[in-house]
Structure 1
């Protein structure tokens, strides 16, 4: 699987080159490597947010990279919980509204059971005043909301891009533990790109993403 882009001069360059990567169901994998090595691009490929230039991305029997954009959206809604560097929170909504937002994409309203579960997840993330708008939260608090939203529906796979980057060491360790625990409880596959050594140590497997050359990068 490869991912190519074109530079400002119109010439193509290789962003990522992964000969083969098989992730067992329920595995916890930490992606490590220098900034710009392709960790985020790999997460975006797995999520179906972008498609590879060559090769394919599959989840079980579903070839995600060949789905239409609409079907990839539906696959993400039913399968994924995502925490990316841009949290994609709705500033005007309160904490609880942001955590339960994915539920509204597939039902008319958020039921009492879903609300109570969301409150429990929020409490575990250290979020207490759920009526606060996310637009007034600190970046660290927003990161907690994003993680709570990602794990709330107990997805089959969780993708996390630097999920502890905005937290101090003590809170990063706490939230990292909660993220891993949530994945274990859900039986979810967890793939996490991070520079956080403590979070990487919680992963059962680690995958190095290395910059092989100015024009080619590969996973090793």
Structure 2
């Protein structure tokens, strides 16, 4: 009988309890970037986050991923308060649960497409198995990248975006966070990349939370949050 998935690997409900995040301005004065009412994202949901530049969309994704700690409130995965874990605990939870499509891609130019896609596996072992190598190549092909041996330094921005999405899917995460996945693309390529992202997420059954300015992409999400920045007031 196959082993049951760990609590981190199982489908999860994401709950944000009264989140707030404080920052400091250029003069060092504290201000509250945003306050949020309670929010629950059910397993398998497609959730879009909109709002003007500087309102905290990327920061909210970083909070959910455990890269930042909230100034107020909690983040729960099922009944586990991940925002209260130690740094090493959040690192482990992130590796086992999340795929992140970063706005700036964060590819390694010297590595080829397949090696960049398989980067998450390097956190648990130095050598890739044959199965992992084939999965990386298959994901690259699925993203319209037929030559997985091409170096990342030779790729267009649209191709780099496809590699970034494939990498986020590599570990079969239950929660995918995408930060402006179509921002660097023209309209035609943006629609194509959005199709690929949504199709592959639907097939995997993962939850997708996406921060974007793209109205065409936002229209495809079942739930949406318009993140309005809090007035630049001093934090309590």
Which TM-score applies when normalising by structure 2?
A: 0.87
- Cα deviation for residue 135 of structure 1 reads 2.1
Alignment of 1:62-211 (within 5 A): 62-211=80-229
Distance 1:128 1:67, change over 3 A: same
Name 1:44's counterpart in structure 2: 62
Q: Deviations over 1:168-208 (max 9, x none)?
A: 21121111111111111111110001111221122111111
Q: Any stretches of 5+ residues in structure 1 without a counterpart?
A: none
Contact 2:182 2:193 in 1 (8 A): yes
Q: Indicate conservation of the 8 Å contact 2:141/2:147, yes or no.
A: no
SS at 1:202's partner residue?
A: coil
Unaligned runs of 5+ in 2: 1-18
CA distance in 2, matches of 1:212, 1:74: 32
Shift of 1:212: 4.3
Kept in 2, the 8 Å contact 1:16–1:42? The answer is no
Q: So what's the TM-score if we normalise by structure 1?
A: 0.93
Is the contact between residue 116 and residue 167 of structure 2 (CA under 8 Å) also seen in structure 1? Answer: yes
Instruction: Supply the RMSD in Å over aligned alpha carbons.
Output: 1.5
1:76 shift after superposition = 0.8
Question: C-alpha displacement at 1:5, in angstroms?
Answer: 1.3
| Aligned residue in 2 for 1:35 | 53
Q: Any idea what the Cα deviations from partners look like across 1:118-163, whole Å, max 9, x if unmatched?
A: 2221112111221122123222221111111001222100000000
Shift of 1:67: 1.1
Q: Is 1:25 the equivalent of 2:38?
A: no
